[in-house]
Amino acid sequence: MFDPHGNGADFAYTIGLHDRGLPELHLWARPDRGPDPGEDWMLSHHDRTELLNELARRLVDGALAVGDTWSERFDAGVAVVDFELCPPGDREHLQAFGTAPGAVVLPLSWSLTRPPEGPLTPLAPAARKQAETDFRVAAASLEHAPGRTAPSVWACAETPSFDPRQPFGPLTAVVRARGAQLLAASVTQLNCLLRHAAEVEMGGGSLTFPASSAAASARPVGRTRALEELRTAAGPLLAEVTEGPCWRPVLDSLLGAGPRQPSEEASMGRLLRDVVVALLSAEAVADGIPHEWLLAARGPWLTAFGPPGEVPGDDWAASASVLAAVTGLLRPLDIRQLGAVAAAHRLGSAGTVIGQEAYADLVHKLHGWALVGFAGCPWRGTLDELPAWSPLLERIVGPGQRVELAPLPELQEWASCLTAALTHRARLTASEATDFARPFADLLPGLHRLLDGPLTAAS
């Protein structure tokens, strides 16, 4: 369960242990004891799910009892959480209303220990140079944006300052530029941002972990207060979006027009909050947050606000061997066959092809893997160099002339799903590999073999 007000009162509990004659388990997202209240730190939805599933297995196996204590490390070992399984709590106080009447609910109490806050420090020269580039790119995207004028706290600066004493720290200019991007977003961009956020979760990823990692990274450089200011300012920013003219059309496009359950709209609001707060928090400590979590925070955002049919940057591309395997698979196809692959992917992603219903859910999961880094397929330098395009381009511009080929988004998305499957093949089941290959059995008879076989440079 999540706190729709964004105050961190999220929690989770098990359902079903009572049917086995066992107590249910309950876990708050923030610490309920100890000196650190975790105002800038919480267990994500993914964290809570993983913890409760593991503890439920231990309870079933008889390896967990009231009074047991243990510790776990988070944020690359920086944060230590000390757990204790407590005696039965009040079901209504814990808000475990989904449990069976009469079920016993055991709360997991926990405390958080982190390093002390360090002094506020300015950006290192290399970090400042990167921040100038990040700001310039974000600001350039606003030049022709049709959105509303941003409130002053989220207005993009004409000349960026990197003074560490600013409200959001030395990277305030980049953070504000991102906020201005959100306020200027079109219906299509907001739609893409929410869809990508959902895909990250469908892929088993965490939208909130980058924010938790950012909180840990902020402490050594004295930016905890900056993140607190940022989270406070994010509330009105999100309200500007959800109360603005684009939000209803976005909900209609994602949930369908007509009557909706309040919980459905609340779920969309939660997705927006999580993906936005994660991105802004990561940007505020971009010079110190682990690179993988900076990519995870930026991936859904840059893909939504960037040009369609392209990965956000080189860090989101799969390895050279994976890309070579995919282009090797596609190289024999002519332009009509490549178009057929894109069309089959578009139809399959919509879930409208009888017998291929599993393909749509699988595509969302695979795209979620690609969005967080090191698993996508670039268009430029990879797909745009397939030989199938040459005859068409020669007819248009003449032989020997070099021209930039605009991306075919459906083909690039399909290729990114394939590169993600190959990159994370250990996470893909045999049935999922079959589901992914089935729509292309005639066009790409070697696809299933590629998914099943060992990947080498010669693939």
Q: Give me the count of residues in the chain.
A: 459
Of the listed ranges 83-92, 105-114, 204-213, 312-321, the least confidently predicted one is 204-213
Q: Which helix (H) or strand (E) holds 362?
A: helix 357-371
Task: Please give the average per-residue pLDDT across 36-41, as a whole number.
Answer: 85
Closest by alpha carbon to 11, among 121, 113, 105, 102?
105
**What are the tens digits of pLDDT across the range 91-138?**
989 999 999 999 999 999 999 998 889 999 999 999 999 999 999 999
Q: Which helix (H) or strand (E) holds 280?
A: helix 262-284
Banded model confidence at residue 31, pLDDT cuts 50, 70, 90: very high
Residue of higher predicted confidence among 328 and 456: 328
Strand order in the sheet with 24-28: 11-13, 24-28, 105-113, 79-85, 69-74
Q: Which helix (H) or strand (E) holds 84?
A: strand 79-85
Confirm if 345 and 399 have CB atoms less than 8 A apart. Answer: no
Mean pLDDT of the chain: 92
Task: Please give the average per-residue pLDDT across 246-265, as a whole number.
Answer: 93
Residue 459 confidence (pLDDT): 39
CB atoms inside a 10 Å sphere around CB 444: 21
Confirm if 221 and 285 have CB atoms less than 8 A apart. Answer: yes
Residue 457 confidence (pLDDT): 39
Of the listed ranges 78-82, 169-173, 286-290, 429-433, the least confidently predicted one is 78-82
- How is residue 362 written in tokens? 């699988």
Report the distance separating Cα 458 and Cα 148, nearest Å: 52
- How is residue 250 written in tokens? 């976005």
Report the distance separating Cα 15 and Cα 23, nearest Å: 9
DSSP structure class, residue 259: -
364: pLDDT strictly greater than 80: yes
Q: How far is CA 116 from CA 119, 210, 217, 224, in A?
A: 10, 20, 12, 10
Report the distance separating Cα 364 and Cα 359, nearest Å: 9
5: pLDDT strictly greater than 80: no
Confirm if 48 and 86 have CB atoms less than 8 A apart. Answer: no
Helices 262-284 and 172-183: crossing angle, nearest 10°?
A: 150
**What are the tens digits of pLDDT across the range 137-174?**
999 999 877 655 667 789 999 999 999 999 999 999 99
Q: How far is CA 356 from CA 199, 337, 445, in A?
A: 19, 20, 17
72: pLDDT strictly greater than 80: yes
DSSP 28-80: ESS-SSSS---TT----HHHHHHHHHHHHHHHHTT---TT-EEEEEETTTTEE
Of the listed ranges 159-163, 186-190, 226-230, 257-261, the least confidently predicted one is 257-261
289: pLDDT strictly greater than 70: yes
Of the listed ranges 121-130, 272-281, 399-408, 439-448, the least confidently predicted one is 399-408
286-305: buried (b, 16+ CB within 10 Å) or exposed (e) per residue?
bbbbbebbbbbbbbbbbbbb
Residue 455 confidence (pLDDT): 67
431: pLDDT strictly greater than 90: yes
- How is residue 453 written in tokens? 């076989």
Closest by alpha carbon to 148, among 250, 235, 243?
243
Q: How far is CA 254 from CA 164, 196, 240, 268, 345, in A?
A: 40, 12, 19, 9, 19
Sequence-distant (6+) residues with CB within 8 A of 43 are 27, 29, 30, 51, 81
> Residue 445, exposed/middle/buried by CB under 10 A (0-12, 13-18, 19+)?
exposed
Q: Which phi and psi angles does 110 have, rounded to 5°?
A: -155, 155
Task: Please give the average per-residue pLDDT across 434-452, as a whole number.
Answer: 95
Q: In degrees, to the nearest 5, what angle opens at C-alpha 108 toward C-alphas 105 and 110? A: 160
Residue 399 confidence (pLDDT): 76
Residue of higher predicted confidence among 56 and 258: 56
DSSP structure class, residue 85: E
Residue 324 confidence (pLDDT): 97
Sequence-distant (6+) residues with CB within 8 A of 150 are 156, 179, 180, 183, 184
Of the listed ranges 258-262, 268-272, 324-328, the least confidently predicted one is 258-262
Q: Is 3 helix (H, G, I), strand (E, B) or coil?
A: coil
- The predicted model scores a pTM of 0.82
> Distance from first CA to last CA of the chain, Å, rounded?
45
**What are the tens digits of pLDDT across the range 325-349?**
999 999 999 999 999 999 999 999 9
Residue 40 confidence (pLDDT): 75
Q: Percent of the chain beyond pLDDT 90?
A: 81
Of the listed ranges 24-38, 79-93, 235-249, 383-397, the least confidently predicted one is 383-397
